[in-house]
Amino acid sequence: MIFTLTLNPSLDYILKVCDFKLGQTNRSNEAYLLPAGKGINVSLMLKNLGYESTLLGFLAGFSGAEIDRSLRELGVIGDFIFLDHGHSRINVKLSSTQESEINASGPKIEQKDLEKLFAQLDCLSDGDILVMSGSLPIGVDQGIYAFVMQRYEKRNLKMIIDCSGEALQKTLPFRPYLIKPNRSEVEEFFSLQNPSLEELKQCAIDLCHMGAQNTIISLAGEGAIFATNHEALHISAPCGKVKNSVGAGDSMVAGMIAGIERGMSEKEAFLYAVSCGSASAFSDGFAKLEDVEKIFKILKENQ
């Protein structure tokens, strides 16, 4: 089974403004609310690819209830823990001549809430996939993902990590199956400024030397890098009109999982991951399966 863990889910309030002017009153020509958070995004993309997953994490208040309702409406299975206090965060995403966003911090998580989560994770079985991704809410230590990996390291679980900084660094000794930082997160991790493609490829290999079994570095319009201990492969992004970059990296994670579930090699699954990320970037929401397959065919032919 596939599980995605989103410790700090959100409602994304997406506003489209033709020409946003800072310091002035602006009116949107389109606005809508979407349930979001990295793990949630992975599950939504997996649903489009034909794979069911169970969403884990914390919800609170009226916004948490709306996240749960929206996901059920979309046909995604949630097994969230509802907190006694606070409300799930509402993030503002502004789409104009440039994309901007304001992300809230979210509710405070108490130890009793974490114990409920561990009770859920205790039920995972050998062979299950657990995606742990996204920012951490108030009250949760940066080492939480590493703690989960250590707690279940004797089980045959595929742990996939998409986070940054200290939270990522602490997971590496426990050999996550896959990590997926983006360019800016890698630059911060290695204290680099404007690294070349070859330097980024070496960073991907170095992350594997530090413990990751596989590393994907997402590079937005430049495609992505895939690395193991011994080699790194760069795939350029296919041509297309970018409509929405939000969730493209999470779509890549979903694509990698789908590829593995389909019995692909890790390199072929990486091509499928890039296809998913690109297809979602070219879509208003998460990409449909047929759009992914078209891009995947093109990428395979170009290899």
- Euclidean distance between CA atoms 271 and 228, whole angstroms: 15
Residues contacting 162, CB < 8 A, separation 6+: 38, 131, 132, 133, 134, 179, 180, 181, 249, 250, 253
> Are 211 and 176 in contact, with CB atoms under 8 Å apart?
yes
Q: Among all residues, which ones are annotated catalytic?
A: 250
Burial class (CB in 10 A: 0-12, 13-18, 19+), 125: exposed
* C-alpha of 257 from chain center: 12
Could you give the C-alpha distances from 106 to 11, 38, 43, 129, 137, in angstroms and in order?
11, 14, 21, 26, 6
Instruction: Give the strand pairing for 77-78 and 224-227.
Output: unpaired
User: Which residue, 90, 70, 94, 74, is CA-closest to 14?
Assistant: 94
The helix (H) or strand (E) run that includes residue 171 is helix 165-171
> Are 63 and 11 in contact, with CB atoms under 8 Å apart?
yes
- Euclidean distance between CA atoms 219 and 152, whole angstroms: 31
- Euclidean distance between CA atoms 241 and 283, whole angstroms: 9
- Euclidean distance between CA atoms 140 and 144, whole angstroms: 7
